[in-house]
Structure 1
Amino acid sequence: MKIQLALDRMSIEKAKDVISETEASIDIVEMGTSLLKDFGLNGLDELRKTYKGPLLVDLKTVDEAEYEFSQVYRHGADIATAMGVTTPETLEICQQVASQFHRSFMIDTIGMSLEKINTLVQYPNAIICVHLSHDSAGSVKDIADDFLTQSTLSNRLAISGGISVENIEYLNDKGFDIAVIGSGITGNDSPGNAAKKIRELLTDERLS
C-alpha cells in the first residue's frame, strides 16, 4: 500500500520541511485543499521544486473541470481530485483532461452513498478515494468495512480520514492501494518518525 502524505493548514515552508523529513517513507505528496486555497499555483510551483516524486493536488473540482485540471497539470501535478457528487459530465471531462496530459485523477467520495459510489465504475482510469470527512463522526475501520462489504468497483482504491499509527495495521491486506494520511503524520512532534513507523507497520509491498 502506498502512503500519501496530505499537507494542510501550514505554510509552504513548513510543508517543505515535512516533505524533507518524511520523503524516505512516503510515496505521494498531497497539496491539500487548504494549501491550494492559501497559496495557489505559486505554492504548487514551490512544492514541485521541492518534491520530485508523485504530487497530488486536492482540487475537489465540481465544475470548470477542463480549466482547473489543466492548470494544475501544467504546474506539475501528477494527480488531481474531483468530487464524486458532481455531474457525470464533469467527471467525464476530468477523465479526458487527465488522459490528454497523461496524468492521473482521483474521485473523492465524500457525501456519496455506497450505491452511488459503485456507479463510478464508468470511470475506469480514476482512483476512487473512500473518504471519512474531517467533520464526520465514525472511524476509518467503519468506513472501510462498509465500503468493502458493498463495493463492486475494480478501480484503484484510496482510503482517507483519521489514519494513524494506531489504526494503520487494520488496513493491511484489505485491498486499498493508497492510504491518505495527514495529521496522523504531520500532527506528531517528529513527522519523520511517524511516517517511518507507519511504513514499518504496513505488510503490503509498495505498488509500482
Structure 2
Amino acid sequence: MKLQLAMDVLTVEDALELSGKVAEYVDIIELGTPLVKNAGLSAVTAIKEAHPDKIVFADLKTMDAGELEADIAFKAGADLVTVLGVADDSTIAGAIKAGKAHGKGVVVDLIGVDDKAARAKEVTDLGAEFVEFHAGLDEQAQDGYDLNTLLTAGKAAGVAFSVAGGVKLATVADVQASGADVAVVGGGIYSADDPALAAKELRAAIS
C-alpha cells in the first residue's frame, strides 16, 4: 500500500518545507485543494521540480470542464488529478482523455457520493486510475463520524481505491487490511509535532 501525504497548507513555501521533511517516507505528494486555489498551479510545478521522483497529486476536485482542467494541471507537472464522483460522466471521461494524452492518471473523489461502492465501479469502468473513498474535514468533524464506513464501502466496491478521512497511525493498519491501494494522511502528518517522525512511523506501520 502506498502512503500519500495530503498537504492542506496554503503557500508554496510551506508546501516545500513540509514535503522536504517527509518526502523520503511517502510515495505520493498531494497538493490539497486550498493550496491549489490559494497558490495556483505554479505550486504543482514547484513540488514536482523539488521531488521529481515522487507522484505529484493535484487535488483539483474538478466538477466541470474535465479535459481542460486536467490538461492544465498535467502540463504544470501533476501526475494525478482529481475529478469529483458527483460530476457528470462526460466530465470524468474528459479528464481521463487528457490523462491518456499525457500518460498520466485521474483519481475520482467520492466525497458527497451516497452510494460510494456503486459509483466507484462506474468510474473505474470509465478509466479512473483509482477511486478515493473520502470524507472531508467538515464531515469528519460531525458527531458519529466513523472511518470504517469508508473502509467497508471500499471493500464492497472491488476496485483500486484510496482512503482519505482522518487516517492516522492508529488506523492505518485497518486501512491496509481493507485492501486499499493508497492511505491518504493529512493532519496525521502535518499537524504532528514532528512531521518527519510521524511519516516515518506511518511508513513503518504499512511495511
Q: Which residue, 181, 185, 190 being the options, matches 1:186? A: 190
Which residue of the partner structure matches residue 141 of structure 1?
A: 148
Which residue of the partner structure matches residue 85 of structure 1?
A: 86
Which residue of the partner structure matches residue 57 of structure 1?
A: 58
Give the drift of 1:158.
Answer: 0.7
8-17 vs 91-100, greater mean Cα deviation: 8-17
Q: Which residues of 2 match residues 38-53 of structure 1 at below 5 A?
A: 38-52=38-52, 53=54
Give the drift of 1:3.
Answer: 0.5
Give the drift of 1:118.
Answer: 3.2
Q: Distance in 1 between matches of 2:195 and 2:206?
A: 17
Q: Distance in 1 between matches of 2:161 and 2:120?
A: 12
Show CA shifts across 1:78-99 (max 9, x none). 0011001000111111111100
Q: Structure 2 counterpart of 1:129, which letter?
A: E
Retained in 1: the 8 A contact 2:82–2:109? yes
Give the drift of 1:167.
Answer: 1.3
RMSD: 1.4
Q: Which residue, 160, 180, 196 being the options, matches 2:200? A: 196
Retained in 2: the 8 A contact 1:132–1:139? no
Q: Distance in 1 between matches of 2:86 and 2:179?
A: 24
Q: Give the TM-score of the pair, scaled to structure 2.
A: 0.91
Aligned-pair identity in percent equals 25
1:27 is aligned to 2:62: no
1:10 is aligned to 2:10: yes
Higher relative contact order (CA 8 A, sep 6+): 1
Give the drift of 1:21.
Answer: 1.0
Show CA shifts across 1:112-143 (max 9, x none). 12233332232234310001121113122232
Q: Aligned in 2, Cα 1:121/1:48: closer, same or farther, shift over 3 Å?
A: closer
Retained in 1: the 8 A contact 2:10–2:38? no
Retained in 2: the 8 A contact 1:58–1:81? yes
Retained in 1: the 8 A contact 2:66–2:93? no
Q: Structure 2 counterpart of 1:56, which letter?
A: F
Structure 1: gaps (5+ residues) = 204-208
Q: Give the TM-score of the pair, scaled to structure 1.
A: 0.90
Q: Structure 1 counterpart of 2:152, which letter?
A: D
Q: Distance in 2 between matches of 1:10 and 1:88?
A: 31
Q: Which residue, 120, 123, 128 being the options, matches 2:126? A: 123
Aligned residue pair count:
200
Q: Distance in 2 between matches of 1:182 and 1:92?
A: 28
Give the helix-richer structure, 1 or 2.
2
Q: Structure 1 counterpart of 2:174, which letter?
A: Y
